[in-house]
């Protein structure tokens, strides 16, 4: 896999490259560009890579200028400190949108997504790009309410969701509880990345990154323990235990 890195902060690009090599051994960094101008010149002179990891805000402008200037046909993973560009990012060949600082798990998931889609659409780049452009976009933030005010919480920071008295709550990595602006867990489940979040039962949706351990119970049920305290024991039913084991083993 040939990868082009577009990032204007050297420590950030070095960190990304280190993470990439730990995720995928058969990977070649074919170029590192730090500006819009440098990126456009590189793309004009070189064969297109298999994948581009692209920061959005560069030293000399917005990286969308690169995409408007060059005919880029390969998939792009956007990396940025801001989520305000999410909608515009998916107007291009984006397969994922990662917020800084990029976690190992999120980057690994993005690379796995690229490889799975590449294998499925092997030798058919146009079909692959059609899939990217039409694929459902998952939320990066959840709207919550505190008193009379609203704010957003990064999805990656959410340990779990739960329902209580017909209301939907979330608990973040700091064990803070918020009221989510959602009517039910089924609606919420559709908006979350199912590679990261799992509907454990009728009451809970959990984040894989916050699963501490799990143990078998009688009748093939599973008991989950999260890294944060939870008021109830989270039980995976006998019917869903196999699916849960398969899901968490593929993270």
Are 35 and 60 contacting, i.e. CB atoms less than 8 angstroms apart?
yes
Distance CA 58, CA 203 (A): 43
Q: What torsion do the CA atoms of 94, 74, 16, 118 make, to the nearest 10 degrees?
A: 90
Tokens of 168: 């939907």
CA angle centred on 168, ends 162 and 171, rounded to 5° = 55
Distance CA 170, CA 41 (A): 46
How do residues 157-170 score in pLDDT, each as one tens digit? 999 999 998 899 99
Confidence class of residue 125 from pLDDT cuts 50, 70 and 90? very low
Indicate yes or no: pTM above 0.85: no
Helix, strand, or coil (residue 176): coil
Tokens of 244: 């849960």
pLDDT at 90: 55
β-strand 141-146 against 149-154: which pairing, if any?
A: antiparallel
Single out the residue of 189, 195, 217 nearest to residue 208, CA to CA: 195
Confidence class of residue 39 from pLDDT cuts 50, 70 and 90? very high
How do residues 210-235 score in pLDDT, each as one tens digit? 999 999 999 899 999 999 999 899 99
Region of 7 please: left (phi>0), alpha (psi -120 to 50) or beta: beta
Q: Is pLDDT of 17 > 80?
A: yes
Confidence class of residue 91 from pLDDT cuts 50, 70 and 90? low
């Amino acid at each position: 896999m040939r990868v082009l890195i577009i990032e204007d902060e050297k420590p950030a690009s070095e960190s990304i490259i280190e993470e990439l090599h730990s995720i995928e051994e058969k990977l070649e960094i074919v170029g590192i560009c730090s500006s819009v101008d440098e990126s456009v010149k590189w793309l004009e002179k070189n064969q297109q890579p298999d994948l581009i990891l692209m920061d959005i805000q560069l030293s000399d402008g917005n990286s969308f200028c690169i995409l408007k200037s060059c005919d880029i046909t390969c998939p792009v993973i956007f990396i940025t400190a801001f989520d305000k560009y999410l909608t515009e990012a998916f107007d291009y060949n984006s397969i994922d949108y990662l917020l800084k600082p990029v976690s190992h798990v999120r980057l690994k998931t993005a690379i796995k997504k690229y490889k799975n889609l590449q294998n499925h659409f092997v030798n058919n780049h146009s079909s692959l790009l059609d899939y990217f452009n039409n694929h459902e976009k998952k939320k990066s933030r959840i709207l919550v309410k505190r008193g009379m005010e609203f704010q957003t919480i990064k999805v990656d920071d959410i340990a779990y969701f739960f329902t209580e008295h017909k209301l939907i709550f979330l608990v973040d990595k700091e064990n803070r509880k918020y009221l989510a602006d959602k009517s039910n867990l089924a609606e919420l489940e559709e908006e979350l990345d199912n590679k990261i979040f799992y509907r454990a039962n009728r009451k809970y949706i959990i984040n894989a990154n916050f699963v501490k351990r799990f143990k078998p119970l009688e009748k093939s049920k599973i008991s989950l323990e999260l890294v944060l305290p939870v008021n109830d024991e989270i039980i995976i039913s006998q019917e869903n235990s196999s699916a849960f084991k398969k899901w968490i083993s593929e993270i």
